[in-house]
């Protein structure tokens, strides 16, 4: 029986970027948040003498070869597990193929989460979450070991892949692949705006590099900036929770209850920014205008918060009520901008409902 898995989108509630590093990457401090919006990934697999993968999608824009992150994930996971298998993966696209929502990275994790029960690494009765649950009775050493190693495998596939092995509200550090669970935001209404404009992430990073050079932002200064930002996020999101000396919240199993809504409402998020806006809005002024429409400042249905997600071009707004979110969709429609109404997805629900 094939295993079907929900593959959720993410937004970035904030994104601080450092100066370019010698390895070609940029240090980041970000807060990822998973959304209810999702694709469906179906996996069937059986052990075989040699590994063979067949990848299909209902959307012709999805690459069905080694360019696909789900493809990379399946091959890498099988290699690391020391297993050869015949695998079929089907990606049913419901999410827009739009930058900033992490859809391709989520597809990679969904392919892995589907592959695991197919290969008998874990039973079909529960999702094999990296975070939050004790290893089930009867797990062998290899399975326990795999549970820790899959985060490294995800990081090899892409910088924003590991976050989908945590889900909910997630602090991302280093190049975005070093992930820590934050206390969940209570589910909030969210509108995702989907402009026709495309944004190239490598170009956005190059524009950021030019900005750093122009403003004289050195590697040392940006390290200090990001360290402070990491501490600020950890304490804002963690509330009364203990934080370690690194400023990162504990990754223990017991998280405080949802408090994010209060956090947004009381304006703590007013200082949270996405650094990409500085370069992406300069290149694509229409996106700045869409952020303004999402905010709806001065209307009774104004957003609690609105921002570019990742390097875009997707943007999002967070709203107190469904009515406020619907009003934002209507404002966007009047401006000729497509949008989707959704909610933020807490970690517990993310894992509970991952397997279909
Ligand atoms: O890790 P991923 O494959 O998603 O990264 C794609 C590209 O984005 C990298 O080659 C790099 O140019 C850029 N990037 C970066 N800093 C990051 C993440 C990505 O410069 N933290």
Domains annotated on the chain, with CATH: 3-184+348-352 (3.30.230.10), 189-344 (3.30.70.890)
pLDDT (mean) for 200-221: 92
Nearest atom of ligand 1 to the alpha carbon of 176: 21
Across 221-242, b (16+ Cβ under 10 Å) vs e yields: ebeebbbebbebbbebbbeebe
Question: Which residue's C-alpha comes closest to atom 3 of ligand 1?
Answer: 158
Check residue 240 and give its pLDDT. 35
Pairwise pLDDT comparison (349 vs 24), residue with the higher score: 349
Question: Which residue's C-alpha comes closest to atom 14 of ligand 1?
Answer: 25
- Would you please indicate which residues are annotated as catalytic (active-site) residues? 10, 160
Where are the alpha helices (H) located in the chain, listed in sequence order? 69-81, 103-118, 141-157, 201-215, 219-238, 260-265, 276-283, 285-295, 322-334, 347-352
Nearest atom of ligand 1 to the alpha carbon of 21: 20
Check residue 234 and give its pLDDT. 82
222 lines ligand 1 (CB under 6 A): no
Nearest atom of ligand 1 to the alpha carbon of 20: 20
Nearest to 68 by CA among 91, 48, 52: 91
pLDDT in tens, 299-341: 999 999 999 999 999 999 999 999 999 999 999 999 999 999 9
175 lines ligand 1 (CB under 6 A): yes
pLDDT in tens, 255-305: 333 444 555 555 556 778 999 999 999 999 999 999 999 999 999 999 999
340 to each of 69, 96, 253, 310, how far by Cα in Å?
24, 10, 33, 17
If one counts every other C-beta atom within 10 angstroms of the C-beta of residue 219, the result is: 13
22 lines ligand 1 (CB under 6 A): no
pLDDT in tens, 104-117: 999 999 999 999 98
pLDDT in tens, 126-182: 555 555 455 556 566 666 778 778 999 999 999 999 999 999 999 999 999 999 999
């Amino acid at each position: 029986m094939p295993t079907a898995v929900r593959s959720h989108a993410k937004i970035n509630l904030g994104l601080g970027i450092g100066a370019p590093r010698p390895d070609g990457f940029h240090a980041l401090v970000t807060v990822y948040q998973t959304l209810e919006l999702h694709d469906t990934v179906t996996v069937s697999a059986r052990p075989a003498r040699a590994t063979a993968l067949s990848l299909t999608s209902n959307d012709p824009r999805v690459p069905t070869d080694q360019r696909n992150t789900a493809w990379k994930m399946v091959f890498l996971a099988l290699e690391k597990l020391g297993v050869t298998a015949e695998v079929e993966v089907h990606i049913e696209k419901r999410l827009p193929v739009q930058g900033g929502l992490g859809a391709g990275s989520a597809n990679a994790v969904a392919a892995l989460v589907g592959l695991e029960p197919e290969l008998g690494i874990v039973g079909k009765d529960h999702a094999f979450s990296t975070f939050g649950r004790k290893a089930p009775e009867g797990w062998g050493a290899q399975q326990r070991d795999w549970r820790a190693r899959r985060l490294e495998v995800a990081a090899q596939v892409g910088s924003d892949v590991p976050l989908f092995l945590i889900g909910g509200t997630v602090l991302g550090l280093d190049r975005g692949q070093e992930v820590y669970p934050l206390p969940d935001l209570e589910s909030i209404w969210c509108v995702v705006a989907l402009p026709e404009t495309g944004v190239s992430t490598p170009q956005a990073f190059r524009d950021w590099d030019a900005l750093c050079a122009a403003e004289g932002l050195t590697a040392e200064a940006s390290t200090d900036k990001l360290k402070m930002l990491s501490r600020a996020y950890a304490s804002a999101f963690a509330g009364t929770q203990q934080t370690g000396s690194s400023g990162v919240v504990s990754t223990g199993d017991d998280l405080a209850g949802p408090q994010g809504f209060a956090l947004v409402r009381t304006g703590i998020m007013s200082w949270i920014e996405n650094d990409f806006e500085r370069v992406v809005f300069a290149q694509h002024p229409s996106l700045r205008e869409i952020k303004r429409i999402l905010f709806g400042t001065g209307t009774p249905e104004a957003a609690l918060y609105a921002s570019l997600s990742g390097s875009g071009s997707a943007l999002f707004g967070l709203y107190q009520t469904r009515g406020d979110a619907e009003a934002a969709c209507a404002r966007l429609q009047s401006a000729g901008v497509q949008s989707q109404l959704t909610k933020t997805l807490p970690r517990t629900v993310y894992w509970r409902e991952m397997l279909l």
